[in-house]
Structure 1
Amino acid sequence: MTVSLLEHEALEFVRALIRIESINTGSPDTIGDGETRAARLVQERLEDAGIATTFVEPVPGRGSVIARLSGTDPEAGALIVHAHLDVVPVDEREWTRPPFGAVVEDGILYGRGAVDMKDFAGVILAVAREFARSGTRPRRDLIFAFLADEEAGGRWGASWIVDNRPDLLTGATEAISEVGGFSVPFAGSRRAYLLATAEKGVGGAVLTAHGEAGHASRPRHDDPVVRLASAVARIGAHRFPVVRTPALERFLEVFGAERGVTFTDDDLDAQLDDIGFLGRVIAASARQTVAPTVLRAGDKSNIIPATAQASLDLRALPDREHELREQILRLAGDEVEVTWSESLAPIASPLDTRFQSVIARSVAAEDPSGVVVPYLLPASTDNKHFARLGVFGYGFVPLRVPDEFDVYGQFHAADECVPVESLHFSARTTARILRDA
């Protein structure tokens, strides 16, 4: 099969970006300059094609690049096309290939960022160059954003740009990025391509139990470790009810009709198990969730500590943050103090828009049996930051993969990988979407 210049460049740019160790540890002391080096590479490739760019670096090493291509319809709102250039850390002992080697074996590209998300960064860089090279004018303005710091919350990337350089995003009404677009088994030989139209919020809480320190040979009724453990156990055991958000309702409607299943709230978890690895993602998106993640207490076994603490990860559904907090307070009880951490609010974008129709047509042009299905992402992306400007965000990085290939399972995993043909599909489909959006 002949590989087009667009497809060739997409693969080469993804590989070049993977080779840059833009690890985001979350700590300024250990991050280095990888994000800036990746942003400079992108900037050079864009400017080589005659595309003007703006480089921003709020603090040393945390670089991002923005470029705008003008569209043919001045009445259409601009579309932000964004990808983050940072990646999570690796433990090289768990990898069977070099995590930053961008090795291709048997048609598979291996490397940190292969799906999260240097794949899309390389693809949209190739598409921007293809449009400039061919003189293609998209329908609407395209704002290409290659961003730092998404893996640690976006403070020095998308969030900083929204707060300090909103002029770079003038006129934007919609955005496209992760997490979605990859194919999953649907019915028969057909594939579903998931479109994230909403995201859970991300927040945290700290539970603190106070008591009086003492010798462990004389146990106390107000031992803070015991009281904290009791509160954590209640919260961890609580099962929140299913909430049929518009995105979940649409997903269940489409999948149910295709598979001849009527999804019910009482049996939803078991029914979702039947659709494989995707079912676990949808189950997490169907309800509020709280996960105890960190416990802190004494450091000597014969001393009852004066305080004990637990950290909780909170994932709220759209418009239900207050309800989630109230439930945590009830479960924690009166003997435990609850302190709320800074949070990112959930977001939800409209269903059945023109943009979604373009996405569906673009997928069908490359995969006639493919069906685009909305869903609610139980995690978080930079779309949350752009939402503060009134921008509706969607998650769709098109990847046609084999039915047994779990793209979700590649995120932050050892031996992260993606089929090369999937990248070629992504480049072709993304070009269609961005041209007509």
Structure 2
Amino acid sequence: AAEWRVPPFSGEIRDGYLWGRGAIDMKDTVAVMLATARHFARTGTRPAREIVLAFLADEEAGGKFGAHWLVEHRPELFAGVTEAIGEGGGFSYALDDTRRLYPIENAQRGMAWMELTAAGRAGHGSSPNDENAVTDLAESLTRIGRHTFPVRLIEPVRALLAEAARLQGVDLDLDAEDLDAELAKLGHVADFMQVVLRNSANPTMFTAGYQTNVIPGRATARVDGRFLPGHEQELIDTIDALLLPSVSREWVNHDIAMETSFDGPLVDAMCAAVRAEDPDGHPVPYCNPGGTDAKAFTKLDIRCFGFKGLKLPHDLDYGRLFHGVDERVPLEGLRFGVRVMTRLWQDC
């Protein structure tokens, strides 16, 4: 909290922004939905179709006690629901000084959070030990953390890159052998998309020992693994190949990747709502590098999209604010979102 310019739980309004933890992940989406619902209730307006509003806890921890619980124990609450929109997309991304992409999520990477355990031989810290659990686990984590997975262009990613190239007037060959050189033609758009070009695995936690002069017989660590739709087994096989023989793994949270086609009346309505409010906006399909409650609702055969309708200032580094210091959302962006969502509910 000391690193923040405002108290992180104050909800302070300053300099045209609403500041606070969760402002963009994802209280902004909640605010837009609630404000739209309030407007419909106050004016007596009826949406074009029946809408179920679901506000759920536990998404950051995988949704075990939120969305997944409801899908497993109370699926009747969603009877007749064929499509869903939530967080994860529909925010603006500056293409240049005047034009913006609006990546609408229609895919997500899967979640593979795992715990690694190294079993070794306990001993005194002053003695040689070639079965040191800390050493074996550290080496395994280093191999995982420094590994670069191969590029796998799934359809939503390919479509976004192709549209960005068209808008920029760039001749782009997405089947080129040297894909990195091709993507470099897109400048900052390529940087924005790096996170969804491949699987990933990052060590995040390490626990071992209780005393400086004692070599522990056991060490554990956590790894955040993510996989693209259709590439789960590649992630698992790669992790297993990188682990030393003394290191085993088990799942902490293992959830699906998802993808739906970028078509149909709802997609058309989302795109139309954005274009109506921002003529320089260009909706495109998008793969969310993380995950949302959509993973649960997909199991009910509900087509899920990420769409918050948020217009952002070009100088705001939106991606770095997620779970970050000085998280904030522009007030005008929220007002824009309510206008977009109102159009969507009226037309979808």
So what's the TM-score if we normalise by structure 1?
Answer: 0.74
Could you tell me how far apart the structure 1 residues matched to 2:54 and 2:69 are? 13
Gaps in structure 2 of 5+ consecutive residues? none
User: 2:143: which partner in 1?
Assistant: 234
Give how far 1:275 is off.
4.0
User: 2:16: which partner in 1?
Assistant: 107
Give how far 1:270 is off.
8.8
User: 1:371: which partner in 2?
Assistant: 282
Q: 1:107 to 1:220 in 2, by over 3 A?
A: closer
Residue pair 2:62, 2:253 contacting (<8 A) in 1 also: no
Could you tell me how far apart the structure 2 residues matched to 1:215 and 1:273 are? 56
Identity %: 39
Give how far 1:341 is off.
2.8
User: 2:152: which partner in 1?
Assistant: 243
Output aligned runs, 1:265-414, within 5 Å: 266-268=178-180, 271=183, 275-276=187-188, 279-414=190-325
The amino acid that maps onto 2:315 is: E
1:182 pairs with one of 66, 88, 91: 91
Give how far 1:274 is off.
6.0
Give how far 1:227 is off.
2.1
1:417 pairs with one of 328, 334, 339: 328
Could you tell me how far apart the structure 2 residues matched to 1:342 and 1:359 are? 32
The RMSD of aligned alpha carbons is 2.1
Q: 1:335 to 1:103 in 2, by over 3 A?
A: closer
User: 1:148: which partner in 2?
Assistant: 57
Could you tell me how far apart the structure 2 residues matched to 1:364 and 1:414 are? 32
Number of residue pairs aligned between Structure 1 and Structure 2: 345
Could you tell me how far apart the structure 2 residues matched to 1:400 and 1:417 are? 13
Give how far 1:146 is off.
1.8
1:221 aligns with 2:133: no
Greater mean alpha carbon deviation, residues 242-251 or residues 258-267: 258-267
Could you tell me how far apart the structure 2 residues matched to 1:130 and 1:192 are? 27
Residue pair 2:116, 2:248 contacting (<8 A) in 1 also: yes
User: Matched residue of 1:290: which SS?
Assistant: strand
Give how far 1:233 is off.
1.9
Give how far 1:364 is off.
0.8
Greater mean alpha carbon deviation, residues 241-250 or residues 413-422: 413-422
Residue pair 1:242, 1:265 contacting (<8 A) in 2 also: no
Give how far 1:401 is off.
1.6
User: 1:130: which partner in 2?
Assistant: 39
User: Matched residue of 1:198: which SS?
Assistant: strand
Give how far 1:165 is off.
2.0
> Which structure has more RCO (C-alpha within 8 Å, separation ≥ 6)?
2
Give how far 1:324 is off.
1.2
Residue pair 2:90, 2:102 contacting (<8 A) in 1 also: yes
Give how far 1:426 is off.
0.5
Could you tell me how far apart the structure 1 residues matched to 2:181 and 2:28 are? 32
1:172 aligns with 2:81: yes
Give how far 1:279 is off.
4.4
